[in-house]
Structure formats: structure tokens, C-alpha cells
């Protein structure tokens, strides 16, 4: 048996706003699906596509899984995603080399120290 990792499904209260945020962060195009969801299409070799699925409820607790991103320049990327609508989050991480942020719907992600 073989599995291919093709999509990450992300529940969202507002799939259009959240997919637009992540499209701006990653520079990936969005496209509607036949089911009314929104797909963020990953460039070849960049990993799985992201599928935004509408849900009626808001996020309440800390994520059990999150994304880590490694930039060339950590502070420049933190500043850029702040400008796009991210916000800092304290999940009890203390003083670390990474920065914990949340997207507009509160999903945590980290920007690691630069390469």
C-alpha cells in the first residue's frame, strides 16, 4: 500500500478571508473547488495543497498540530506576516529562537530562526 500526502484540510469560519491570508503569506494561488471550498495550490515540490473547508464554529483551544516556517530573515518575515494580519501568541513557549504567531482565525504557526 502506498499513500501520497496531497492536501492539508483546514477548517475555517471564513474560508475566503483565511485562504487569502495564507495565499499572501505563502505566495500560492487560490482556486475555488466544485464543493465550494477554497484550495491553495502548492507549487511543484513545495508540499501538499491546502484545502480550506467552512465550519460554523470558531477555534477555541491551542492547535494540536501547527506549521513551522524557516525564512531567510526571521524578523523580516515576522514583520511581513504581521502586516498581513498575523498576531503574536503566547502558548507558554517562554523565550525561544522561534516566534509563535496566529493567523486571523487564531491558528498557531511558528517562524523559526533564519537558515
pLDDT of amino acid 68: 94
Pair 73, 95 in one domain: yes
On whether both 32 and 71 belong to a single domain, the answer is no
| pLDDT at residue 19, as a whole number | 97
1: helix, coil or strand? coil
Express each pLDDT in 69-110 by its tens digit: 999 999 999 999 999 999 998 777 667 788 999 999 999 999
Cα separation of the two ends of the chain: 36
* Helix/strand/coil (H/E/C) assignment for every residue in 20-58: HHHHHHHCCCEEECCCCCEEECCCCCCCCEEEEEECCCC
Distances (CA, A) of 46 to 34, 40, 111: 24, 12, 17
Quick one: pLDDT at residue 94? 64
Sorted by sequence, the CB contacts under 8 Å of residue 66 that are 6+ apart come out as: 107, 108, 109, 110
Q: Do 49 and 27 have their domain in common?
A: yes
Helix (H, G, I), strand (E, B) or coil at 72: coil
Which domain does 85 fall in, by range? 65-115
**Number of domains present in the structure of the chain:** 2
Please indicate, yes or no, whether residues 88 and 115 belong to a single structural domain of this protein: yes
Residues 41 and 12 in one domain: yes
- The domain spanning residue 46 has which CATH number? 3.10.180.10
- Shared domain for 1 and 52, answered yes or no, is yes
The answer to whether the CB of 92 falls within 8 A of the CB of 49 is: no
Question: Of 39, 57, 75, which residue is a domain's last?
Answer: 57
Amino acid at each position: 500500500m502506498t499513500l501520497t500526502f496531497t492536501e492539508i484540510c483546514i477548517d475555517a469560519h471564513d474560508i475566503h478571508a483565511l485562504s487569502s491570508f495564507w495565499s499572501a503569506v505563502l505566495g500560492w494561488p487560490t482556486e475555488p473547488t466544485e464543493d465550494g471550498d477554497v484550495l491553495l495550490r502548492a507549487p511543484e515540490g513545495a508540499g501538499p495543497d491546502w484545502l480550506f473547508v467552512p465550519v460554523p464554529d470558531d477555534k477555541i483551544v491551542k492547535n494540536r498540530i501547527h506549521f513551522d516556517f524557516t525564512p531567510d530573515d526571521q524578523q523580516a518575515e515576522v514583520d511581513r506576516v504581521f502586516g498581513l494580519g498575523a498576531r503574536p501568541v503566547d502558548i507558554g513557549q517562554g523565550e525561544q529562537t522561534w516566534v509563535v504567531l496566529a493567523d486571523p482565525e487564531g491558528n498557531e504557526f511558528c517562524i523559526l530562526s533564519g537558515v
